[in-house]
Amino acid sequence: MQFNELRTAQIKAGKQRNYLQGAHSYDVLANPLYMDDFQYVAVNVPDREKQIIDDDSDEDNDALQSDLVRVVLNLAYMDEDRVNDFDLKKVNY
């Protein structure tokens, strides 16, 4: 019903528009403003590891910081057994 209303809605000047604006999907990290807020560097960015700065001396795990952002934002969509096994404790090296 809602989809049909959206599909048949007439857009009139000065009226509220009935379509998505901004990012092209419901993926929070597809929006550049949220990418910046979460300090997320996408996997497809060249030399991604060089752009990520973390607080440990291990340079091999820099991408994990951004990967963790993606995983945590998707916890709500994981099945409960996987979420319960997820460990968010910080490990100092």
Q: How far apart (Å, rounded) are the C-alpha atoms in residues 5 and 83?
A: 37
**Tens of each residue's pLDDT in the chain, 93 residues:** 677 777 787 766 665 655 556 666 778 888 888 888 888 888 899 988 888 877 778 777 778 878 888 888 888 888 888 888 887 776 665
Q: What is the pLDDT of residue 46?
A: 92
Q: What is the pLDDT of residue 59?
A: 79
Place of tokens 């497809």: 44
Q: Cβ(66)–Cβ(41) under 8 Å?
A: yes
- Report DSSP state, residue 68: H
Token pair listed for 20:
């998505």
Handedness of CA 13, 15, 16, 17 (dihedral sign): negative
Which backbone phi and psi does 83 adopt, to 5 degrees? Answer: -65, -40
Q: What is the pLDDT of residue 11?
A: 66
Q: What is the pLDDT of residue 26?
A: 76
* pTM reported for the whole predicted model: 0.57
